[in-house]
A and B are shown apart, each in its own frame.
Chain A
Amino acid sequence: MTKESSPKSAKPKEVVRLIGVAKEYGDVGALAPVDLSVLAGEAIVLVGHNGSGKSTLLSIIAGMLEPSEGTVLVHGQPPDSVYARERRSWLPDTPVLYDDLSVREHMEYTIRMHGGRGDEPIIDDLIGRLGLANRQDDLPSQFSRGLRQKAAAAVALVRPFTLLLVDEPFVGLDVAGREALLGLLEESRKGGATVLVATHDPAVIERFKRGLVLDDGHVVHDGTAESLHAYLSADVTHGES
């Protein structure tokens, strides 16, 4: 594993802390013991082949999976604490939406669950930017995979958060949707949120400042986007030789 030293300046707050976190399913190890620290405002991309442990890692931070061993802290609290849930938004790889609520109703409801009124302008803003204006009152059960992904993204982004976890967000999205989502992720980061994105898409890697490579449940590289490019190129070359 390669690890770069971080610059010594006024140290931002630690948003995510993993100490020896591992996950096993029966006799199959999905994630080897991982130590990780993510600071406020970081934008991190997780890359790795299928089954490398990206989704498992994100799901553990999201509180959807419980680690077999180790400690997970989100803002210094357990990931299933109300405190962590207030501040963490999670966009899973498979959109999870109610079949009997429209996109707009999902968003209004989600905002209200997070202390809003449900008529905030961000709803219209997100609907417009993700190209859902004509479908905002339709039920997601009638949507294609890409539209469902957009709807799920809108629901995940409409609420307040300081940590955004996104798993394979570009699957099924058209070019416009992909660009819109990338723009929204960038805005979230600029707004001070910490963003962790797992993706197979090499074209988006350069948009992130830090990259982690997972292989067979191990973090084998942790560095800047440039070093990640170099690592991946070397890995590909090594694999071909």
Chain B
Amino acid sequence: MTDQASSNNSEVTTTPPPLGPDKGEAASGAAGFGIDQTMSSVAMDEMRGARRRRRIGDVAWGDLAYRVYTTALACLVFAVFASGWVGDSELAAHSVASVKEFGPIWAGLFTALAVLLGVRSGTRAGPLALEAADVYHLLLAPISRSRVLRRPAVGVVGYGIATGMTVGALVGSLCSQRLPGNTFEWMVSGALFGGAAAALALGAALLTASRRIQRPWIELLAWAVLVTSVASVLGYLPFAPLTLLGKILFWPLSFDLLPLLVVGIGVVLAVAGLLTIGGLSIELAQRRTRLVGQLRFAVTQQDLRSVLLLRKQLASERPRNSSRFSRIPIRFGSRFPVFTRDVQSIGRWPWVRLLRVTVLGLGAALSLYGAWSGTTPLILLAGLCTYVAALDAIEPLAQEIDHPMMLGSYPEPAGVLLQRHLVAPVLVMILICSEGLALIWVLHPSVNVLAIGAITVLTASLTAVAGASVSVVSESVVDAGDAAMMPPEVTGPRVVIRTLWPPLLAVIGVTPILVAQRAMRLSNDPIPPALTLAIPILVLAGIVFMWVKYREDLHRTMSEAMGAKT
């Protein structure tokens, strides 16, 4: 008897079974069995062709031309902006030497990150996102799944490699502005690097998906590759595997044929992924199909909450069945029902979410350590880490927002309840940020680290939750009517501000580190300036928390005022 688990990894072709019926014994429906795969393939191709022609026929060419024009214009503006930002004065010899030494390491780190993302996507049947009807009508049809999936897979890989090559060529062109070498050479090496990185990432994704490689092991391997690259960037390792590929980007500075080996590996991975694509899990493909469609729509609507929620579903990140804090005393629960509900929700976090927020806390701390050491822009990364962690911590509040009927049914004003939902996330964020402080204290045990760290933990936790609550709560405001009345010159910046303001709040929360660092450089006591800055930051967080409470009242008052005017 065939073992199901072992048969899952590759598609089984038609073979006469010991128990099965003979050809031509179809009990119902049209015709009999004895299906010719070629005829089925022809039917599939004709159907796809007819649908493509119909889609092309439905295209509004004016709209399409306008979209192409705006995209091309945006790319051009970006290229000009990037070119101006990079500048065109040639770097000094020692800087060129530094680029030659560290450039490939950073390019390797970027590739390692892309491969990790590819592998993670592959464990969820990515990068393909089929139509739901294709899963049902084509993958369940008696036709080779490799045949069905190869064309969309080739499309994804081809598009990915072409995009990688284009971006790589652009990066190469920018490099040529300040580094010695011919522009054409830089563009070619950049394109080769970009294409190979894309092939590696997409090939890894396709192979993981088609061979159904067990999730923890393949992800651990990808993480290991990334960690070697990070260690290499930090100087703890002399070499990381993907640094070899990064060398291609800098070929005009130092030519070496060995990196072509990694290009070959990328090509082999991509081809192997395409050849074995028939082994894709139909269960994962179906789930991905459903969620990716919603995810794309949420992205177009700038609906961050839905994007995060769908991404968690895509990763099969479900709350635990039982809460880790299920034994909360009834008296406490009845006195603080909102806080108790939040604690029970947080107690249901799966391990992967606990791990993620832990890593984000440590990442924020290390970024701040880097900012303290002189790499000031890392403060942005630290703020982003706390912001993303806070989006997880604020899940109970988001759930309340997701169920407005229930929120409206409670005997307390919605704003009051929403504000109460902020207590547990703030405590969680203090915990997450404190573990980062503990790490830094282990690296640098001093009173100053402890004091400045404690101040930053407090401000960062509060502003991260404030930013996350702004993001979640403001998405619930139905203002499409208002937006429709406004000109694009107003709605565009409005969308940008609405998108950037929440993470910016989180970044503001970690700035006490900067003033403390400046004071240290000037040989002053770093604690007083950090404390001085912390006060307005705490006030800002307080204002946001009050906004959460009175937002609906404010909105209603403004609407009434506008109505009275008109």
Contacts and interface: CB of A to CB of B under 8 A. Distances in A.
B35 A100 contact: no
Interface size class of A (residues with CB under 8 A): 35 or more
A85 B140 contact: yes
Contact of B11 (A80, A92, A111, A188): A80
Nearest to B8: A66
B316 interface: yes
Interface stretch (B128-136, B256-264, B399-407, B414-422): B128-136
A73 to B, nearest CB: 7
Interface string A84-99: 0111011010001111
Nearest to B284: A66
User: Do most interface residues of chain B lie in helix, strand or loop, or is the interface mixed?
Assistant: loop
Given A26-B318, A76-B18, A160-B28, A70 B2 contact: no
A159 B30 contact: yes
Interface stretch (A115-123, A172-180, A201-209, A215-223): A115-123
Interface in A47-74: 62-67, 69-73
Contact of A75 (B20, B31, B32, B54): B20
B484 interface: no
Contacts of B142: 82-83, 85-86, 113-114
A90 B21 contact: no
Nearest to B131: A98
A231 to B, nearest CB: 29
A161 B4 contact: no
A85 B278 CA distance: 14
Interface in A122-163: 122-123, 155, 157-162
B51 A115 contact: no
Interface string B12-47: 111101111100011111111111110110011011
A100 B54 contact: yes
B214 interface: no
Contact of A113 (B17, B19, B44): B44
Among all A-B residue pairs, the 3 with the closest Cβ atoms: A160-B26, A112-B43, A76-B19
Interface of A: 13-14, 19, 25-28, 40, 62-67, 69-73, 75-78, 80-83, 85-87, 89-90, 92, 96-101, 105-106, 109-116, 118, 120, 122-123, 155, 157-162, 164, 187-188, 191-193
Given A85-B140, A105-B50, A193-B28, 18 more contacts: A13-B20, A27-B321, A66-B4, A73-B19, A75-B21, A76-B20, A82-B13, A82-B142, A89-B29, A96-B137, A98-B133, A111-B30, A114-B30, A114-B142, A115-B34, A115-B35, A115-B40, A160-B30
16 contacts: A27-B320, A69-B5, A76-B19, A81-B7, A83-B12, A92-B136, A96-B136, A112-B39, A113-B138, A114-B29, A115-B36, A120-B30, A158-B30, A160-B31, A187-B28, A188-B28
Interface of B: 1-5, 7-8, 11-15, 17-21, 25-37, 39-40, 43-44, 46-47, 50-51, 54-55, 131-133, 135-138, 140-144, 281-283, 286, 316, 318, 320-321, 350
